Every structure is written in C-alpha cells, then in structure tokens.
C-alpha cells in the first residue's frame, strides 16, 4: 500500500465510454480511487452498488469516485449500465496504474496463480497526496468507511 502523505501517482485511463480520465482532472479536491478485481462479480458489484447507493452523499461532499480494474472498456460500459452506476469506471488493461498504487499482482484464484487487481481504495487529497488508504477492503459498507475518512 502507498503510505498516507505520499504523492499519488498520476494517470490517464479510458473510462467506460472510451474517454480519457486523468487524476489531474480532479486537482484541488478529494477524489476516491478504488481498485477492484472484476466487473459484474459478486464482491465487485456489492462495492460498486454501495458507492452508487451513497452517491448523493458523495456529491454533497464534492467527492468524485473512480473505479479502476483491468477489465476492457466494453465490460465496464455494460457493468455501469446494468447497475446504473453514476461514476466513472476506468480500464487499466495492463495493470500499470494498479501496480503504481500497489494494487496489482499475483494471487491464487481457485488453484491458478493469476495477475489480478487487488481490492484497495485510496483517497487522494486536494494537494495530490494520499489522504487515506484502505487495503483488502470488505465491499459491504465500504462507501461509508471512505466517506467517514474524508469528513
């Protein structure tokens, strides 16, 4: 995990619509960058829907949310539409951004060792540094936990 107070690695990734989203687009505000393994799987759906169900609170706080996985853009578009997610999902196809955030690597998945995105969340502060970090999060109730750390 990246330590609180360190500079958040900047990135540019395509969102579910193929448009480029950069961390620098959110200078001077808090932004949640959450990494998840796979779109439309049980844990990832729970986590995404938790952010969706708390979206009004995030909007009121002026805090954008970015979900990042190694899914292709097309899968992200379908996932976002299926669950009516109001925030951008970003495709980190090669895991480069997740690696920079210590959120990508080998895991044993049902007996196979695979490269996967880890379920970690970062709050990047207005100054571009890591304001809070959550490792191996429980998807249920995580949106409350993140918002509490920002407030």
Reported pTM: 0.95
Q: Which of 32, 44, 63, 143 is catalytic?
A: 44
Full domain range(s) for residue 64: 13-150
Whichever domain contains 41, its CATH number is 3.40.30.10
Is residue 76 situated within a structural domain?
A: yes
Is 49 catalytic? The answer is no
Extract the runs of DSSP E, i.e. beta strands, from the chain.
12-14, 20-22, 31-35, 65-69, 88-91, 104-109, 112-117, 121-124, 130-134
Is residue 1 situated within a structural domain?
A: no
Tally of structural domains, the chain? 1
Is residue 69 situated within a structural domain?
A: yes
> pLDDT per residue over 33-85, tens digit each?
999 999 999 999 999 999 999 999 999 999 999 999 999 999 999 999 999 99
Angstrom distances, CA of residue 76 to CA of 32, 69, 93, 106, 132 = 18, 9, 11, 22, 26
Is residue 67 situated within a structural domain?
A: yes
Going by pLDDT thresholds of 50, 70 and 90, the confidence category of residue 109 is low
Average pLDDT of the chain?
A: 95
Is residue 129 situated within a structural domain?
A: yes
Q: How many helices (H) and strands (E) does the chain have?
A: 5, 9
> pLDDT per residue over 134-147, tens digit each?
998 999 999 999 99
Is residue 115 situated within a structural domain?
A: yes
Is residue 41 situated within a structural domain?
A: yes
Look at residue 121 in the predicted model and tell me its pLDDT. Answer: 98
Is residue 5 situated within a structural domain?
A: no
């Amino acid at each position: 995990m990246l330590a609180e107070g360190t500079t958040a690695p900047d990135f540019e990734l395509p969102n579910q619509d193929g448009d480029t989203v950069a961390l620098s687009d959110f200078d001077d505000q808090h932004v949640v960058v959450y990494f998840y393994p796979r779109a439309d799987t049980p844990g990832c759906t729970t986590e995404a829907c938790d952010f969706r169900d708390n979206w009004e609170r995030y909007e009121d706080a002026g805090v954008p949310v970015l979900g990042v996985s190694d899914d292709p853009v097309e899968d992200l578009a379908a996932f976002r539409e299926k669950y009516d997610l109001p925030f951008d999902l970003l495709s980190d196809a090669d895991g480069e951004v997740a690696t920079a955030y210590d959120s990508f690597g080998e895991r044993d998945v049902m007996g196979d060792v695979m490269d996967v995105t880890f379920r970690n969340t970062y709050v990047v502060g207005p100054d571009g540094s890591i304001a809070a970090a959550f490792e191996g999060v429980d998807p249920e109730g995580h949106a409350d936990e993140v918002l509490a750390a920002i407030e």
